[in-house]
Homo-oligomer: A and B are copies of this chain.
Amino acid sequence: MPDRIRVGVLGATGTVGQRFVELLADHPWFELAALAASDTSAGRRYGDVCRWLPSSDMPPGVADMIVEETAPTLGCDVVFSALPGDLAGSVEEAFAAAGYAVFSNAGAHRRDPDVPLLIPEVNPDHLALIVGQRARRGWDRGFIVTNPNCSAVMLTVALAPIQAAFGLRSVLVSTMQGLSGAGYPGVPSLDALDNVIPYISGEEDKLSFEPRKMLGKFNGAGVELADFSISAHCNRVPTREGHLETVSAALERPATPQEIVEVWRAWRPLPQQLNLPTAPQPALVVREEKDRPQPRLDRDAGRGMAVSVGRVRPCEVLDIKFITLGHNTLRGAAGASILNAELMLAQGLVDW
């Protein structure tokens, strides 16, 4: 890989956009060449219009970049989209039509039948949808690949090895999601402190659908949704980062907690085999302690890209229960999208 690929970020000033910038500023394969944001920011220095939230300083060089308009005139081949959902739909299509590879963190195209909803560890074969996507939409070079909602990542990664080994009949999940998931300014401190907000708009619906698409089967033409139901309770808790989820699942074939742990430990999916730059080693961290994973202690595992699981035990109502946790703005957003791009690049699926 002689030269680095030129990439841009759409929605670069938001919380997820900043995570893209943080991760791309020093990436071995990608060169951060363009930052796009709203019209009020366009034409100004990134350092002047972006209220930088990560605790690390803004990467040197980035502050002086001039924010551009969100239009397919950016000087790059790949764009990462951190656009808000209502804007993302048409803008991402315009970029793809203009020949850009679009890796989107937005929800707009996740349910499109011809758009891969991708976790590289889980369903890399779904990338084959792109052939039909281009054909149907008349795009010759560009395409859209999406990553799932943050809370869906932690659940799906934990379920994938279980589904493969034992099958799934139903899943009940209750989430405790960090504040950064609501963006910035996001949740007012007067609502967050000493409180839990037992509702996140649209989240339960996403969590009921997205894992079933990712764990579904590509049949040559499209993806058949996995044949199990998911019921979700979504809650916002006063932690900064990290989504923790309690999960109960009914299986097609019986499994002991120890067998679940074994399939998790044995899991070595494609990005780890390919040793992609952003792929955590291992993908799944199995905690043995009775009170782990915890958001503060485990969200940064694998530089924020590992999913941590633990507390597997029999469920009195379904078959097994356990907990799963991951970093919502890294594994659950910007890092997920970058890993998607790395996978395609490593597999030669793009002709950049």
Contacts and interface: CB of A to CB of B under 8 A. Distances in A.
Interface of A: 15, 53, 55-57, 170-172, 174, 176, 179-180, 184-199, 208, 229-231, 233, 235, 237-240, 244, 246, 248, 250, 290-297, 300-301, 310-311, 315-318, 321, 323
A170 B55 contact: no
A231 B250 CA distance: 13
A315 B15 CA distance: 32
A180 B190 contact: yes
B198 A230 contact: no
B188 A291 contact: no
14 contacts: A55-B300, A56-B300, A172-B317, A174-B174, A184-B190, A187-B189, A193-B240, A195-B297, A196-B295, A199-B311, A230-B316, A233-B323, A235-B246, A238-B238
Contacts of A238: 189, 193-194, 237-239
B311 A198 contact: yes
Nearest to A300: B55
B311 A172 contact: no
A195 B300 CA distance: 13
Given A295-B195, A296-B55, A185 B184 contact: no
Contact of A229 (B172, B196, B317): B317
A53 B195 CA distance: 12
Contacts of A292: 198
Contacts of A290: 199
Contact of A195 (B170, B239, B317): B239
Contacts of A239: 194-196, 238
Contacts of A316: 170, 208, 229-231
Given A174-B174, A196-B295, A197-B291, 4 more contacts: A57-B301, A176-B237, A196-B237, A198-B311
Q: Which 6 A-B pairs have the closest CB atoms?
A: A174-B174, A233-B246, A185-B188, A189-B192, A199-B291, A231-B316
B174 A246 contact: yes
Given A189-B192, A194-B296, A231 B248 contact: yes
B176 A196 contact: yes
A239 to B, nearest CB: 5
A188 B297 CA distance: 15
Nearest to A172: B317
A53 B190 contact: yes
Given A208-B316, A233-B321, A317-B172, A193 B189 contact: yes
A139 to B, nearest CB: 35
